[in-house]
């Protein structure tokens, strides 16, 4: 069955507040908030606001219960075996930094941490900082000409000195989906842990994260049509039990004396202080709403739009695509550059046509270096996009190219 985009858009308040033309194609940066998430956020902040975990009055008890239910909703959406595997964070960046700190004792001088040239800076910089603290080395997987991870020589890339493999599940520049299976298999063979940046994957339907074989999976709520300021970090339970806390403070302890502290069990030992309660409730509501959608129809719709976009871009003069042309194992994130024109200028002029795109290095400078550029324009799709959005972008680009070249 074809996706009813008009009905889908009624789930997103933004479309009732933006005058036409409005073609939002910056979903890889942040998705629009869905009505279910917006309602959860507003209801908490205006009718149910109280701190969580220790209050014994009714308002606080309801907030604590709602917070626990949000964790359960995220666990269900991720396919976690139990809610306690889900640490609630402020987003992917915080989650990956948390992972880099709690895994520090597992890395020593001369050890290796493997990243890739496809990564967002959030999945490079924390590991560089860890390597510097521990005297370890950073290695990097390369990328193919079409913008996918180059997995041809994993035995050399992941050897017995490798302690951590940190890779993206879906590139925020090329849209390429990583084949995690060979990476996980090789990491298992040498005793390395696998950390996955799932920020760009989670908007595309429920996961079975346990079956991926990874040890840690990070995500952001605002990418999956929730509020900004919330995220989640899934850690395999038997690993989670062995890890030390990251931040110290309230809520992450069971007993504190002047001399020492005893830490709370997971996930609470990793959630110091007052959490982002409203955004977490919104993220849980978004996960619950997303889980009920017809993903077969949505993904088929997105694939058709991606094909339309790629074909249209390839027909334009002086334009270079960065990323796969084929539609298999990729999502609707498409980056390109216009010869002789800076991406910011392209995006600024496109805004005059009501088209919202992103220009820059997309926090992926090693990938820009690999492709010999400093910046690209990026269009990224969501279930509320349609053919009109694609056509508006292509028609706008025709005129932009005519103006700037």
The answer to whether 363 is a known catalytic residue is yes
| 405 residues of the chain, pLDDT tens digit each | 799 999 999 999 999 999 999 999 999 999 999 999 999 999 999 999 999 998 999 999 999 999 999 999 999 999 999 999 999 999 999 999 999 999 999 999 999 999 999 999 999 999 999 999 999 999 999 999 999 999 999 999 999 999 999 999 999 999 999 999 999 999 999 999 999 999 999 999 999 999 999 999 999 999 999 999 999 999 999 999 999 999 999 999 999 999 999 999 999 999 999 999 999 999 999 999 999 999 999 999 999 999 999 999 999 999 999 999 999 999 999 999 999 999 999 999 999 999 999 999 999 999 999 999 999 999 999 999 999 999 999 999 999 999 998
Peptide bond into 21 cis (omega under 30): yes
- Catalytic residue (choose from 170, 214, 356, 363): 363
112: left (phi over 0), alpha (psi -120 to 50) or beta: beta
36 vs 304: CA distance, rounded Å = 27
Cα angle for residues 209, 149, 196 (degrees, 5° grid): 25
Contact assessment for residue 74 and residue 232, using Cβ atoms and an 8 Å cutoff: yes
Domains within the chain, CATH numbers bracketed: 5-32+294-404 (3.90.1150.10), 38-291 (3.40.640.10)
Token pair of 12 as six digits:
């997103």
Query: Quick one: CA dihedral 11, 14, 18, 24, positive or negative?
Result: negative
180 vs 120: CA distance, rounded Å = 17
> Packing angle between helix 387-404 and helix 295-314, nearest 10 degrees?
20
Contact assessment for residue 120 and residue 361, using Cβ atoms and an 8 Å cutoff: no
Contact assessment for residue 166 and residue 123, using Cβ atoms and an 8 Å cutoff: yes
Distances (CA, A) of 82 to 267, 290, 351: 11, 19, 45
Q: Buried b / exposed e across 224-252, counting CB within 10 Å, b at 16+?
A: bbbbbbbbbbbbbeeebeebebbeeeebb
Please tell me whether the overall predicted TM-score, pTM, comes out greater than 0.85 for this model. Answer: yes
240 vs 267: CA distance, rounded Å = 8
Closest alpha carbon to 32 in 10, 13, 58: 13
DSSP structure class, residue 115? E
Tell me the per-residue pLDDT of 338-369, one tens digit each, with 9 for 90 and over.
999 999 999 999 999 999 999 999 999 999 99
Pairing of strands 319-322, 86-89: unpaired
216 vs 95: CA distance, rounded Å = 9
Give me the residues paired with residue 253 across strands. 263
375 vs 337: CA distance, rounded Å = 7
């Amino acid at each position: 069955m074809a996706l009813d985009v008009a009905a889908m858009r009624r789930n997103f308040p933004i479309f009732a507040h933006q005058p036409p033309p409005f073609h939002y194609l910056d979903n890889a940066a942040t998705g629009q908030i869905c009505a279910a998430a917006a309602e959860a956020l507003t209801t908490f902040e205006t009718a149910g606001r109280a701190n969580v975990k220790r209050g014994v009055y009714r308002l606080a008890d309801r907030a604590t219960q709602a917070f626990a239910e949000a964790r359960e909703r995220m666990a269900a959406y991720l396919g976690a075996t139990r809610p306690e595997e889900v640490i609630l964070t402020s987003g992917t960046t915080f989650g990956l930094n948390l992972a880099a700190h709690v895994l520090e004792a597992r890395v020593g001088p001369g050890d290796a941490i493997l990243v890739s040239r496809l990564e967002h800076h959030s999945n490079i910089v924390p590991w560089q900082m860890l390597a510097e603290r521990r005297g370890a080395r950073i290695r990097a997987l390369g990328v193919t000409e079409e913008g996918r991870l180059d997995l041809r020589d994993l035995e050399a890339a992941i050897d017995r000195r490798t302690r951590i493999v940190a890779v993206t599940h879906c590139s925020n520049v090329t849209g390429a989906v990583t084949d995690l299976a060979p990476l996980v298999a090789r990491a298992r063979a040498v005793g390395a842990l696998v950390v996955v940046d799932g920020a760009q994957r989670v908007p595309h339907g429920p996961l079975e994260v346990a079956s991926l074989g990874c040890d840690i999976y990070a995500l952001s709520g605002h990418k999956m049509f929730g509020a900004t300021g919330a995220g989640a970090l899934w850690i395999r339970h038997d690993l989670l039990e062995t890890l030390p806390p990251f931040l110290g403070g309230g809520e992450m302890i069971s007993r504190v004396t002047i001399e020492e502290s005893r830490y709370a069990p997971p996930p609470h030992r990793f959630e110091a202080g007052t959490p982002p309660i409203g955004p977490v409730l919104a993220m849980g509501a978004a996960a619950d709403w997303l889980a009920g959608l017809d993903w077969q129809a949505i993904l088929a719709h997105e694939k058709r739009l991606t094909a339309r976009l790629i074909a249209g871009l390839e027909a334009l003069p002086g334009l270079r695509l960065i990323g796969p042309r084929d539609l298999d194992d990729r999502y609707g994130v498409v980056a390109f550059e216009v010869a002789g024109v800076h991406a910011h200028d392209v995006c600024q002029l496109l805004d005059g046509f009501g088209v919202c795109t992103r220009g820059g290095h997309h926090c992926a400078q090693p990938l820009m270096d690999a492709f010999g550029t400093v910046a690209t324009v990026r269009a990224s799709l969501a279930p509320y996009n349609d053919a009109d959005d694609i056509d508006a972008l292509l028609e706008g680009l025709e005129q932009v190219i005519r103006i700037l070249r």
